[in-house]
Amino acid sequence: MVVRFIESCRLPTPFGVFDMHGFEEIDTGQEHVALSLGEVSDGRPVLGRTHSECLTGDALYSMRCDCGYQLEEALRSIAIEGRGVLLYLRQEGRGIGLLNKIRAYRLQDEGADTVEANERLGFAADLRDYSMCLDMLEHLGIKQLRLMTNNPVKVDALRDLGVDVVERVPLEVGRNPHNESYLNTKRSRMGHWFHTHQDDDPPPSQE
């Protein structure tokens, strides 16, 4: 077991009233949450997303990435579906932390792409760990997942853990002039799937 369940509560959002479930990593004390909506433990495939924390995109309206847009669209999609789950993992900056992410952004300001910036700081392009996801999903009684992602590594990582990912649901939102290069790098250097070239989207409408 990687995480232990701590407590649940109701979480009203602009998209609907979710249940928020708190988890703590046993070895590190790191905290993660899951947001669930509707009946997710009935054995049917559940629409869901694993979303890594991005303070700049999720809370500060940054247009340098697509994270805030994806978070909002995932919650909206779950609400439209009437049932689903979002695992919010505290892994800022693809695992390098907030301050190192700021350092990486500075390198990107000087011309590095997102992969080069991480590597210049001595990190791999992506240090995220999804090992806690299986425990979180099992606690919620979720057997099969329709995963909202553009990242093939995430699909493979969850399947390697034993999560039954039965479908990959594209989540292509938020392309704008500030993140065009970032998204192109994710496609060309990190293998992300992007099948459409979106028109510019407005910033996320978080409150």
Q: What is the pLDDT of residues 158-201, one digit of tens each?
A: 999 999 999 999 988 889 998 888 778 777 766 777 775 444 34
Does 154 show up as a binding residue in the annotation?
A: yes
Q: What is the pLDDT of residues 47-65, one digit of tens each?
A: 999 999 999 999 999 999 9
Contact of 47 with 77, CB cutoff 8 Å:
yes
CA 146 to centroid of chain Cα atoms: 14
Domains of the chain: 3-91+128-190 (3.40.50.10990), 94-126 (no CATH)
The catalytic residue positions are 126, 128
Dihedral of the alpha carbons of 39, 41, 46, 47, in degrees to the nearest 10: 50
State phi, psi for 16 to the nearest 5 degrees: 155, 175
Does 56 show up as a binding residue in the annotation?
A: no
Dist CA 90 CA 13 (whole Å): 20
